Chains A and B, each alone.
Chain A
């Protein structure tokens, strides 16, 4: 039965004209599990596999294979299922493969190389499951070692490189000391050396480090950087010596890799990583090695060697031409330093780079020590304006009790930079005590300090609002709207006014419904109208909302206004129709569309449209349903209508009455593809995979006098599904469909 089954699999591969991959030893896949193979496996023989170095440990492990995992007959049965014609049977087998254990490893490796991709996939998955199962936390070590030893056999040179690479990958997950030599032997194999390096990089233990170090000497020049990198990533101090040697190599690329690896290890390496070494570097050298020095300093700081770290940071801050490296130095000083570092950091507060200046504040804020706050305050006395501003910011960031008084004092500074920082920080703290200072500055200062102060004042208005003090908040917003010079602060004020929605704001808001404040004012206006409606003046609210729809440049605001109008009983569909959206549709579906086939396939709506009777699909009656949407944009959500969300299609049907014939543009958006018929004639098709946006497809067409029929077919792959159609004149102005 077993042989028959295997032959069937083989015949199946042949009948599909799949190349018949020879087994690694010249056997056809189907023959791999016949008697002699199984018998050899059950004896734990190693004749068909890795024949390189066999260590005492791996030899010992081989002895336990026979005692781990499933029995030989169970493995045979399992292998039959892995090769079954049915993907479902194969899946059931691979899913449960874990306990099959080491005996199944080599046969699965054989099957991975076979010509049947379904079987190869099942074998690959099963092999992975066996490996992962063997390494589960409660498994005895011998089980993992036994599986690893069998995986080593798959590294044999007579196996396909894909199988060997997969075995190396699995050994990177579960391999231990027993796998090191086998992987190391492949470091000189041109095809597999990188996979071997990656496996060794992951394997724990000093053996793997040793193997990589030994491999370094023998490695081809172009491959040495990969091994160096692996040694760095392992961060094993045993590699320091060989890596230090490479820092003196004539190949600058190797030198850079070696420095980087040493920095990752983060342990002292002679006099390579010292402040003096940074000072001595040429500019080019600093460009090449600066990252390594910063990494090393970070590692030293993390290992509580602040002295070394600070020295390198300071030297880097002084020397580096690259602003991001100065950032690195400054950030490092902040993390490792104390109050004594303030003086070193402060000059960088005037750095040409905004990133460095920001990093200085962050660093000052991060300094450790009880005396830092006091020293920051005393340092202000002789500081330059840019430094004083940084000190202020640091005090606030540290939440220092001295910050408030420092800010109040700083508002009177003769230096604009300091005053600006003070007002910015006051705004950030949002402390009501600052309200008069900010208002006074908003009235007396010139831009940009004025804007900063007004921005802070607006934040305090927001604070009052959130605390329920609406009258005072409204007064502040009104004042700010009057004082503001630019649109951004006006928009902010209009936002607050809208939230409060007091009728007293109507005329003020209305004045701003033009230009750059139009959208924000329209939003506020809608909110005011909603409030007025709630207070009972329905007609005034309707007038205001209609005005907002007309004046708002924003569809989002229009939409909110429409919602409010609808609540007041207004037929809002007219607004969407006025800008040309087709708002009423009859929908039917879903129709099957595997691999987008509905784009071409014809279903009954393309032949007959009977809005009453619908039609039949595969014996099931589908009926048309009417949907009206009054939103702008008018998007018909087909997921909501039909639920089915993958590989389907639906039709939408609409009628458009015109008093006179005219040329138009029909503009459609769809998610995904769309086909359009006008008066029974197919005028457009786009088998797209896309999200729906308004006016994605544009088709010139002619509407006739009287009733025009519009039919769309909208395809769905997965995810969202819907469409929208609007009609414009040839010059793109909306065709008013409300008339």
Chain B
């Protein structure tokens, strides 16, 4: 099961201060408790302390309530949900069963944004909708929790950052790995120089799946396919293009490099304090499925070079697995550190988990849990841990990696101007004009 990685990990989210010595010092079976699975035992103790009172409530709308969005909806206090939205009536029916019929249900997200009683929206449709809906939500004065990866194009990501800035919105991107205890401890360990200067980070992740051919058909009656495709390039309905499977199409999800890269890279940027920068070059190679409907590379390797400080980031699919389905190894001048996962199921080595910041040392931002951090920041108007600039910079890695793969050439990147140097075609791919009325 792969989607579970994206679910929140109640109880393992870094809310305590004393979680001690675990990963890699114990058996693989034991380590799974941290790196791969949620701790979920029904317990009143897992309820959120600090939950707002009735006069401090944050009323939410939920846009896209299938896979991840369904999980977000189930996590939300029912009494605080004012509206739900999905282009699939089955999802809406399921939501009504959960939250009750009193909650308004829509097919068009713009109706949710018109609600004056809604403070914030959770945006979790497929990737190609993230940018437009987030920008429109900011324009409507809503704070946003947007699923990762933040955007589908560089232009979208920058527009999202600008919209959040322009309208003073709190936007959290759903790369929740940063809010885990393991990521926090790894960041402490690395930022305080305990592995020395990081020269290289190598990621591993199992390959993309290989699909077959299923016939295109009429969309099922409960699904508005035209709205599902939205701003993306038009394609006929096919169940292997739709729910969940969109991940394996370059024009929609963009493969593991986006689906999981957005998690792994988020933790890397957090540990290395790289949230406002980017690489100076990218070179991707890969082998797509030779047949079948999906086109994302099954195996893939992307090398990013960074300057000031100089370091290299390598995404390898499959790479060399180190005790978990995916993760990253940090190569410093003095030592190495493995951080498994990158989503809610982060893990790291005992030496980092047991680490204490030395006197005067660097203390990373500490999140009390990803969703809670977002809600707290809505109240305080502070910047959340996976703020939009960070989300955009992380998504940039995924986007330019896929552009390099698509064009079959190494590209030089200007992280300040956010443009490729000396490659006009690549620069045209920094934005995708939206189909129909859907534009930023």
**Pairing of A with B:** yes
Q: Contacts of B141 on A, CB cut-off 8 Å?
A: 322-325
Q: Contacts of B324 on A, CB cut-off 8 Å?
A: 639
Instruction: For chain A, give the interface size range.
Output: 35 or more
Cα–Cα, bound, A88→B291 (Å): 8
- Decide: A117 near B433, CB < 8 A? Known: A202-B428, A520-B16, A691-B3: no
A466 touches B46 (CB 8 A): no
B435 touches A554 (CB 8 A): no
Name A123-181 residues within 8 Å CB distance of B. 125, 128-129, 132-133, 135-137, 165, 169, 172-174
A173 touches B425 (CB 8 A): yes
Minimal beta-carbon separation of B135 from chain A (angstroms): 10
Name B122-168 residues within 8 Å CB distance of A. 138-141, 162, 165-168
- Which residue from A137, A173, A358, A722 sits with its C-beta under 8 Å from B429? A173
A722 touches B37 (CB 8 A): yes
For B181, give the chain A residue with the smallest CB separation.
A556
| B41 interface residue per 8 A CB criterion | yes
For A726, give the chain B residue with the smallest CB separation.
B41
B32 touches A635 (CB 8 A): yes
Cα–Cα, bound, A551→B290 (Å): 58
For A165, give the chain B residue with the smallest CB separation.
B234
A327 touches B39 (CB 8 A): no
B139 touches A523 (CB 8 A): no
Name A530-580 residues within 8 Å CB distance of B. 530, 552-557, 559-560, 563-564
Cα–Cα, bound, A698→B304 (Å): 48
- Decide: A358 near B291, CB < 8 A? Known: A169-B233, A722-B37: no
| A198 interface residue per 8 A CB criterion | yes
A499 touches B356 (CB 8 A): yes
Name B36-61 residues within 8 Å CB distance of A. 36-46, 49-50
B36 touches A722 (CB 8 A): yes
For B435, give the chain A residue with the smallest CB separation.
A194
A324 touches B138 (CB 8 A): yes
| B423 interface residue per 8 A CB criterion | yes
Flag the segment in B20-28, B76-84, B98-106 that touches A.
B20-28
For A169, give the chain B residue with the smallest CB separation.
B233
- Decide: A499 near B18, CB < 8 A? Known: A88-B290, A323-B141: yes
Cα–Cα, bound, A672→B424 (Å): 45
A523 touches B408 (CB 8 A): no
A87 touches B356 (CB 8 A): no
Minimal beta-carbon separation of A581 from chain B (angstroms): 10
Interface of A is mostly: helix
- Decide: A672 near B1, CB < 8 A? Known: A355-B381, A499-B18, A554-B46: yes
Q: Contacts of B33 on A, CB cut-off 8 Å?
A: 559, 631, 633, 635
A556 touches B19 (CB 8 A): yes
For B167, give the chain A residue with the smallest CB separation.
A324
A358 touches B381 (CB 8 A): yes
For B46, give the chain A residue with the smallest CB separation.
A554
Minimal beta-carbon separation of B4 from chain A (angstroms): 2
| B360 interface residue per 8 A CB criterion | yes
B45 touches A553 (CB 8 A): yes
| B7 interface residue per 8 A CB criterion | yes
Residues on B lying within 8 angstroms of A by beta carbon are 1-5, 7, 11-12, 16-22, 26-33, 36-46, 49-50, 138-141, 162, 165-169, 206, 209, 213, 233-234, 287-288, 290-291, 295, 321, 323-325, 345, 356-361, 363, 379-381, 406-409, 422-425, 428-429, 431, 433, 435-437, 439
- The 9 A-B pairs at the shortest CB distance, nearest first, are namely A691-B4, A640-B28, A327-B168, A637-B32, A553-B45, A358-B381, A324-B141, A719-B2, A87-B291
Extra inter-chain contacts (18) besides given A132-B425, A173-B428, A519-B16, CB under 8 Å: A91-B288, A165-B233, A198-B433, A324-B141, A324-B168, A358-B168, A466-B358, A466-B361, A468-B359, A499-B18, A555-B11, A560-B20, A635-B33, A639-B28, A639-B36, A640-B28, A692-B37, A719-B4
Could you list some 11 contacts between A and B, CB below 8 A?
A87-B290, A118-B291, A173-B425, A324-B168, A328-B167, A358-B381, A362-B168, A555-B43, A637-B36, A639-B325, A689-B3
